A and B are shown apart, each in its own frame.
Chain A
Amino acid sequence: MPGVSLKGLTRRYGDVAAVDDLSLEVKPGELVALLGPSGCGKTTTLRLVAGFLAPEAGEIWVGDRCLSSPVTVVPPERRRMAMIFQSYALWPHMTVAQNVAYGLRFKRGLAAADRDRRLAEMLRVVQLAGYEARYPGELSGGQQQRVAVARALVVEPEILLLDEPLSNLDANLREEMRFEIRRLHEAFGITTLYVTHDQAEAMVISDRIAVLERGRVAQIGTADEVFLQPRTRFVAEFIGKTNLVEGVALTADTVARGSVRLRIGGDGLVAGARVAVSIRPHDIALTDGAAPGVNALRGTVQRASFLGDSVDYQVQVADSDVVLRVAAPAGLRRRAGEAVGLSIDPAACIPLAATEERR
Chain B
Amino acid sequence: MSRVLTGELTRVGTPRRLAGIDRALPVWAAVVLALVFLMALPLGWLVWMSVGGGRGATLGHYRAVLDSPALMKALWNTVVLAFWVGLASVAVGTPLAWLTARTDLPGKGLIRSLVLASFVTPPFLGAFAWVMLAGPNAGLLNVLWRDATGATEPLVNIFTMSGLVFVVTIYTFPYVYIMVANTLALIASDLEEAAAILGAGRLTIARTVTLPMVAPALVSGFILAVLQALALFGSPAILALPAGFHTITTQIWSMFQYPPKLEMAAAVSMPLLLATALLLLVQKRLLGRRGYATVGGKGGQRRPIPLGAGRYPALLGSLAVMACAIFLPYGILARAALSRAWAQPLTWSNLTLGNFSFTFFEYSATQAAIVNTLELGIATATVGAVLVALLSYVTNRRLVLGHQLVAFLAMAPIVIPGVVLAVALFIAYTRPPFVLYGTLAILFVAYLTKEMPVGYAQSEATFRTIPPELEDAGRILGAGRLRILRDVTAPLARSGIIAAWCFIFIGVIRELSASIILFTPATKVMSVVIFDLKEEGQFGAIAVLGIAMLALTFATVALVQRVLGRDVLGVRE
Question: So, do A and B actually touch in the complex, CB under 8 Å?
Answer: yes
> In the complex, which residue of chain B has the Cβ closest to the Cβ of A165?
B297
> In the complex, which residue of chain A has the Cβ closest to the Cβ of B293?
A92
- In the complex, are the beta carbons of A75 and B196 less than 8 A apart? yes
- A65 CB to nearest chain B CB (Å): 16
- In the complex, are the beta carbons of B190 and A87 less than 8 A apart? yes
Residues of B within 8 A of A151 (CB): 194, 198
- In the complex, are the beta carbons of A85 and B194 less than 8 A apart? yes
- A53 CB to nearest chain B CB (Å): 9
Asked if A103 lies at the interface with its beta carbon under 8 angstroms from chain B, I say yes
- In the complex, are the beta carbons of A155 and B298 less than 8 A apart? no
Which residue among B191, B212, B213, B300 has the maximum number of chain A CB atoms within 10 Å of its CB?
B191
- Report Cα–Cα, A50/B199, bound state, in Å: 12
Which residue among A81, A87, A102 has the maximum number of chain B CB atoms within 10 Å of its CB?
A87
Residues of B within 8 A of A81 (CB): 197
Asked if A359 lies at the interface with its beta carbon under 8 angstroms from chain B, I say no
Residues of B within 8 A of A189 (CB): none
Asked if B200 lies at the interface with its beta carbon under 8 angstroms from chain A, I say yes
Query: Which of B212, B290, B296 has a CB less than 8 Å from the CB of A87?
Result: B296
Query: Which of B190, B212, B297, B299 has a CB less than 8 Å from the CB of A141?
Result: B297
Q: Given A87-B296, A136-B295, A168-B298, does the pair A82, B197 have CB atoms closer than 8 Å?
A: yes
* Residues of B186-234 whose CB lies within 8 A of A: 188, 190-191, 193-201, 208-209, 212-213
B-contact 0/1 string along A160-173, CB 8 Å cutoff: 01000001100000
Residues of B within 8 A of A167 (CB): 297-298
A-contact 0/1 string along B32-44, CB 8 Å cutoff: 0000000000000
- A4 CB to nearest chain B CB (Å): 15
- In the complex, are the beta carbons of A77 and B198 less than 8 A apart? yes
Q: Given A92-B292, A93-B212, does the pair A87, B196 have CB atoms closer than 8 Å?
A: no
- In the complex, are the beta carbons of B201 and A77 less than 8 A apart? yes
- B320 CB to nearest chain A CB (Å): 30
Residues of A within 8 A of B209 (CB): 91
Which residue among B201, B292, B295 has the maximum number of chain A CB atoms within 10 Å of its CB?
B295
A-contact 0/1 string along B1-29, CB 8 Å cutoff: 00000110000000000000000000000
Asked if A79 lies at the interface with its beta carbon under 8 angstroms from chain B, I say yes
* Cross-chain pair count, CB within 8 angstroms: 98
- Report Cα–Cα, A276/B22, bound state, in Å: 70
- Report Cα–Cα, A83/B213, bound state, in Å: 21
- In the complex, are the beta carbons of B188 and A89 less than 8 A apart? yes
- In the complex, are the beta carbons of B191 and A86 less than 8 A apart? no
Query: Which of B198, B212, B298 has a CB less than 8 Å from the CB of A106?
Result: B198
- A146 CB to nearest chain B CB (Å): 12
Which residue among B6, B191, B198, B209 has the maximum number of chain A CB atoms within 10 Å of its CB?
B198
- Report Cα–Cα, A77/B190, bound state, in Å: 14
Residues of B within 8 A of A8 (CB): none
Residues of A within 8 A of B201 (CB): 77
Asked if A137 lies at the interface with its beta carbon under 8 angstroms from chain B, I say yes
- Report Cα–Cα, A85/B193, bound state, in Å: 9
Asked if A3 lies at the interface with its beta carbon under 8 angstroms from chain B, I say no
Residues of A within 8 A of B296 (CB): 87-90, 136, 141, 144, 168
Q: Given A87-B298, A103-B199, does the pair A137, B194 have CB atoms closer than 8 Å?
A: no
- In the complex, are the beta carbons of A89 and B198 less than 8 A apart? no
Residues of B within 8 A of A37 (CB): none
Number of A interface residues at 8 Å Cβ cutoff, please give it.
Answer: 35
Residues of A within 8 A of B295 (CB): 90, 92, 136-137, 144
* Residues of A98-130 whose CB lies within 8 A of B: 102-103, 105-107
Asked if A52 lies at the interface with its beta carbon under 8 angstroms from chain B, I say yes
> In the complex, which residue of chain A has the Cβ closest to the Cβ of B292?
A92
Asked if B94 lies at the interface with its beta carbon under 8 angstroms from chain A, I say no
Q: Given A88-B297, A92-B292, A144-B296, does the pair A76, B197 have CB atoms closer than 8 Å?
A: yes
- In the complex, are the beta carbons of A102 and B298 less than 8 A apart? no
Residues of A within 8 A of B198 (CB): 77, 82, 102-103, 106, 151, 155
- In the complex, are the beta carbons of B299 and A87 less than 8 A apart? yes
- In the complex, are the beta carbons of A87 and B294 less than 8 A apart? yes
- In the complex, are the beta carbons of A86 and B197 less than 8 A apart? no
- Report Cα–Cα, A90/B188, bound state, in Å: 11
- Report Cα–Cα, A172/B55, bound state, in Å: 78
> In the complex, which residue of chain A has the Cβ closest to the Cβ of B196?
A76
> In the complex, which residue of chain B has the Cβ closest to the Cβ of A79?
B197
- A156 CB to nearest chain B CB (Å): 12
- Report Cα–Cα, A90/B565, bound state, in Å: 34
* Residues of A127-146 whose CB lies within 8 A of B: 136-137, 141, 144-145
Residues of A within 8 A of B7 (CB): 137
> In the complex, which residue of chain A has the Cβ closest to the Cβ of B195?
A102
Residues of B within 8 A of A137 (CB): 6-7, 292, 295
- In the complex, are the beta carbons of A106 and B199 less than 8 A apart? yes
- Report Cα–Cα, A309/B300, bound state, in Å: 39
B-contact 0/1 string along A311-335, CB 8 Å cutoff: 0000000000000000000000000
- Report Cα–Cα, A92/B6, bound state, in Å: 10
- B333 CB to nearest chain A CB (Å): 43
- In the complex, are the beta carbons of A52 and B193 less than 8 A apart? yes
A-contact 0/1 string along B314-326, CB 8 Å cutoff: 0000000000000
* Residues of B544-560 whose CB lies within 8 A of A: none
- B343 CB to nearest chain A CB (Å): 54
- In the complex, are the beta carbons of B191 and A89 less than 8 A apart? yes
Residues of A within 8 A of B199 (CB): 77-78, 103, 105-107, 155
- Report Cα–Cα, A89/B198, bound state, in Å: 12
- In the complex, are the beta carbons of A85 and B195 less than 8 A apart? no
Query: Which of B190, B208, B212, B213 has a CB less than 8 Å from the CB of A89?
Result: B190
- In the complex, are the beta carbons of B299 and A85 less than 8 A apart? yes
Residues of B within 8 A of A105 (CB): 199
* Residues of A52-80 whose CB lies within 8 A of B: 52, 75-79
- In the complex, are the beta carbons of B193 and A89 less than 8 A apart? yes
Which residue among A52, A77, A107, A155 has the maximum number of chain B CB atoms within 10 Å of its CB?
A77
Residues of A within 8 A of B194 (CB): 83, 85, 89, 91, 151
* Residues of B93-144 whose CB lies within 8 A of A: none
Q: Given A85-B299, A87-B190, does the pair A93, B196 have CB atoms closer than 8 Å?
A: no
- Report Cα–Cα, A82/B199, bound state, in Å: 9
Residues of B within 8 A of A89 (CB): 188, 190-191, 193-194, 296, 299
Residues of B within 8 A of A87 (CB): 188, 190, 294, 296-300
- B288 CB to nearest chain A CB (Å): 14
> In the complex, which residue of chain B has the Cβ closest to the Cβ of A107?
B199
Residues of A within 8 A of B290 (CB): 93
> In the complex, which residue of chain A has the Cβ closest to the Cβ of B216?
A93
Q: Can you report 22 residue pairs joining A to B where beta carbons are below 8 Å apart?
A: A52-B303, A77-B201, A78-B199, A81-B197, A83-B197, A86-B298, A86-B299, A88-B296, A89-B299, A90-B296, A91-B194, A91-B209, A92-B213, A92-B292, A93-B212, A93-B290, A102-B208, A103-B199, A136-B295, A137-B295, A141-B296, A144-B296
Closest 4 CB pairs of A and B: A106-B199, A168-B297, A103-B198, A87-B299
Given contacts A82-B197, A83-B193, A92-B294, 16 further A-B contacts (CB under 8 A): A50-B193, A77-B196, A77-B200, A77-B201, A78-B199, A82-B198, A83-B194, A86-B299, A87-B298, A88-B190, A92-B295, A93-B213, A137-B7, A141-B297, A144-B296, A161-B197
